[in-house]
């Protein structure tokens, strides 16, 4: 029998850092379940979670300014280990009687910390009298540490780069161990959750699968569930997991809105009907969606139209099935975090094309969201655990509004056909070059711009196609993929030669900082 993966839990207190989610990723990569809660609500979750350790995140504020977020005293009175990260270190120091002041030397980016004393936080990772690369992001600094603490590592701009109270198992670091540019950061988190907090590595997808199936059966009982399939990994894993739990009590509704990539609608129908034998209603609603989107330019308006039409379609199909009490959807943990962020996270805007956060009251249905504790990479791992084919599990993310928001400007069938052809050629070239799994996401965009060109002996006046490809570990931040010119030349030549309506191709080399999206 699998052990409950929630037995050992770490509470992450969010003070507004753009990389708080990365802390959760590092903890879960160490095989330990964790939850993120905003600083204003975290202490209220103590009784329910009973965490074995607490991590205080970084944040953009200055702890010495009036009204800055503070550490709730209840968090420090639990008798469990606490690790403060950057702002979290400073806030912990202030709460325990230390002092923080503006730094004379600010540190942003790569820095070196020198290990001055032994410490259980980096035992087996860093050695005494050696220096190691970390990633700093601070202007203020700890000027005096609380009673019982000692400085165990320093940096040029932070005399208390790492502080420790080994008796209480309280630690503070001025840098960010969770980011890629602190090479040993994941090991520090593993030390904290395992050696210091005593957590077992029982957060596995095998254990989660068993727990989730039991939870679905308990929630649903003998009632009927409908699941809105989008064709993406999230909704597909949701459907297969629920079907494994309750069988034919589940009916999937695939709304073919006419905005998918080439052949994807046929692939979805074939996989669910033929491979998994899951009851599936295929609704061809392309005329309705495209008709309402035609002439709509604002991307947010497009999302809202698509979201409304999805809901209306689900209502009609649920009425035909009869007796449906639950709607399943593939809400992920980042959606949940953002929807309760103390800064008023962006999920309401980013996810406005579907039902993250709730349903219209008139639907009178309860939500089943079995993935709401998982990050994207964990969903893929669960998909593999459920036997989904690798080519599908590893599929690039594709937004719910589909090609509608990769068509800046009005949507028409002609533009969709042009974009589908260009997009398919681009992905084909990426696969031929063996780059598909290296790239996190790639797609084409048909820009609302036309240029004059010459093809053969004739002059053309046709559209510009933009190509986008990014690398990412987690989808929070991304950088453009550095294609060589020979690849771009091949892809552009094929698109211009094979797609009537495009006479110019450009490559987008912008990056994606935290909290932003492009054409998503």
The per-residue pLDDT for 347 is: 34
Q: What DSSP assignment string belongs to 85-146? A: ETHHHHHHHHHTT-EEEEEEEEEEEEEEEEE-S--GGGTTTS-TT-EEEEEEEEEEEEEEPP
Residues 359 and 417 placed together within one structural domain of the fold = no
- pLDDT tens-digit profile of 196-210? 999 999 999 999 999
Give which of 81, 6, 91 is closest to 40, Cα–Cα: 91
DSSP state of 194: I
Q: CA triplet 130, 132, 136: central angle to 5 degrees? A: 140
The per-residue pLDDT for 150 is: 97
- pLDDT tens-digit profile of 271-322? 888 888 899 999 999 999 999 999 899 988 999 999 899 888 888 888 898 8
Q: Could you tell me which residues are annotated as the binding site?
A: 230-236
* Average model confidence (pLDDT) across the chain: 88
Contact 80, 199 (CB under 8 A): no
Q: With bands split at pLDDT 50, 70 and 90, how would you rate the model's confidence at 115?
A: very high
Residue 114, number of CB atoms within 10 A of its CB: 16
Look up the pTM and report it.
Answer: 0.80
Lowest mean pLDDT among 16-30, 95-109, 487-501: 95-109
In a domain, 515, yes or no: no
CA distances to 134, 196, 329 from 179, rounded to whole Å, are 9, 21, 30
Residues 48 and 108 placed together within one structural domain of the fold = yes
In a domain, 399, yes or no: no
- pLDDT tens-digit profile of 214-269? 999 999 999 999 998 887 889 999 999 999 999 999 999 999 999 999 998 898 89
- pLDDT tens-digit profile of 445-482? 999 988 887 666 667 779 999 999 998 766 656 789 99
Phi and psi at 162, nearest 5°, equal -135, 130
Question: Taking 50 as the threshold, does the pLDDT of residue 169 lie above it?
Answer: yes
Residues 332 and 450 placed together within one structural domain of the fold = no
CATH number of the structural domain spanning residue 484: 3.30.300.10
Residues 192 and 209 placed together within one structural domain of the fold = no
The last residue of a domain, from among 143, 173, 196:
196
> Above pLDDT 90, what percent of the chain?
62
Question: Taking 90 as the threshold, does the pLDDT of residue 42 lie above it?
Answer: yes
How much is the average pLDDT of 88-107?
86
Task: Give residue 264's domain range.
Answer: 205-393
The last residue of a domain, from among 147, 174, 196:
196
Question: Taking 90 as the threshold, does the pLDDT of residue 396 lie above it?
Answer: no
Which long-range contacts does 411-416 make (Cβ < 8 Å, 24+ apart)?
Answer: 411/259, 411/290, 411/293, 411/294, 411/296, 411/302, 412/290, 412/294, 413/258, 413/290, 414/501, 415/446, 416/258, 416/259, 416/290
CA gap 232, 230 in Å, rounded: 5
SS3 state of residue 362: helix
Which residues are tagged catalytic?
A: 86, 176, 178
Residues 267 and 362 placed together within one structural domain of the fold = yes
What is the domain count for the chain? 3
Question: Taking 90 as the threshold, does the pLDDT of residue 157 lie above it?
Answer: no
Question: Taking 80 as the threshold, does the pLDDT of residue 348 lie above it?
Answer: no
Q: Could you tell me which residues are annotated as the binding site for ATP?
A: 230-236
Contact 519, 406 (CB under 8 A): yes
CA gap 51, 12 in Å, rounded: 10
Residues 341 and 424 placed together within one structural domain of the fold = no
Task: Give the per-residue SS3 of 224-277.
Answer: EEEEEECCCHHHHHHHHHHHHHHHHHEEEEEEECCCCCCCHHHHHHHHHHHHCC
Give strand pairing partners of 255: 283
Q: With bands split at pLDDT 50, 70 and 90, how would you rate the model's confidence at 343?
A: very low
Q: With bands split at pLDDT 50, 70 and 90, how would you rate the model's confidence at 341?
A: low
Residues 290 and 430 placed together within one structural domain of the fold = no
Residues 73 and 149 placed together within one structural domain of the fold = yes
Residues 350 and 448 placed together within one structural domain of the fold = no
CA gap 438, 305 in Å, rounded: 34
Lowest mean pLDDT among 218-227, 270-279, 329-338, 489-498: 329-338
Question: Taking 50 as the threshold, does the pLDDT of residue 88 lie above it?
Answer: yes
The per-residue pLDDT for 520 is: 43
């Amino acid at each position: 029998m699998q052990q409950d993966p929630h037995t050992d839990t770490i509470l992450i207190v969010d003070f507004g850092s753009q990389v708080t989610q990365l802390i959760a990723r590092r903890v879960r990569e160490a095989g330990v379940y964790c939850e993120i809660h905003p600083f204003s609500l975290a202490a209220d979750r103590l009784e329910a979670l009973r965490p074995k350790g607490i991590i205080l995140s970084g944040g953009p504020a200055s702890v010495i300014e009036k009204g800055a977020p503070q550490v709730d005293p209840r968090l420090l009175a639990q008798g469990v280990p606490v690790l403060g990260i950057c702002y979290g270190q400073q806030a912990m120091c202030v709460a325990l009687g230390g002092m923080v002041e503006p730094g004379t030397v600010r540190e942003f980016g790569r820095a070196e910390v020198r290990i001055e004393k032994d410490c259980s936080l980096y035992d087996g990772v860093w050695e005494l009298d050696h220096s190691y690369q970390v990633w700093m992001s601070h202007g203020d600094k700890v000027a005096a540490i609380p009673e019982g603490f000692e400085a165990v590592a320093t940096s040029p701009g932070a005399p208390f780069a790492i502080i420790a109270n080994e008796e209480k198992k309280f630690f503070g670091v001025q840098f960010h161990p969770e980011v890629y540019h602190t090479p040993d950061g994941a090991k520090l988190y593993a030390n904290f959750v395992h050696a210091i907090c005593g957590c077992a590595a029982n957060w596995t997808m095998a254990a989660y699968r068993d727990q989730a199936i039991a939870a679905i059966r308990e929630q649903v009982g003998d009632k009927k569930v409908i699941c809105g399939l989008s064709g993406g990994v999230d909704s597909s894993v949701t459907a297969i997991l629920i079907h494994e739990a309750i069988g034919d009590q589940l009916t999937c509704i695939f709304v073919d809105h006419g905005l998918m990539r080439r052949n994807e609608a046929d692939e979805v129908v074939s996989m669910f009907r033929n491979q998994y034998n899951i009851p599936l209603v295929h609704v061809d609603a392309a005329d309705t969606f495209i008709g309402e989107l035609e002439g709509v330019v604002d991307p947010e308006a497009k999302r809202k139209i698509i979201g409304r039409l999805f809901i209306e379609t689900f209502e009609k199909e649920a009425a035909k099935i009869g007796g449906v009490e639950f709607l399943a959807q593939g809400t992920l943990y980042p959606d949940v975090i953002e929807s309760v962020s103390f800064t008023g996270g962006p999920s309401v805007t980013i996810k406005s094309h579907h039902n993250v956060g709730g349903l219209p009251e008139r639907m009178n249905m309860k939500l089943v969201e079995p993935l709401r504790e998982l990050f994207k990479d964990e969903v893929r791992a669960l998909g593999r655990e459920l036997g989904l084919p690798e080519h599908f599990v590893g599929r690039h993310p594709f937004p719910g509004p589909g090609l509608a928001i990769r068509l800046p400007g009005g949507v028409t069938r002609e533009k969709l056909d042009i974009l589908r052809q260009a997009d398919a050629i681009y992905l084909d070239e990426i696969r031929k070059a063996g780059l598909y799994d290296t790239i996190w996401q790639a797609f084409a965009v048909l820009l609302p711009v036309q240029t004059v060109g010459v093809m053969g002996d004739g002059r053309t006046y046709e559209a510009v196609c933009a190509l986008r490809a990014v690398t990412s570990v987690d989808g929070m931040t991304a950088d453009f993929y550095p294609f060589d010119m020979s690849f771009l030349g091949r892809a552009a030549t094929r698109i211009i030669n094979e797609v009537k309506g495009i006479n110019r191709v450009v490559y987008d080399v912008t990056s994606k900082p935290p909290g932003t999206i492009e054409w998503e």
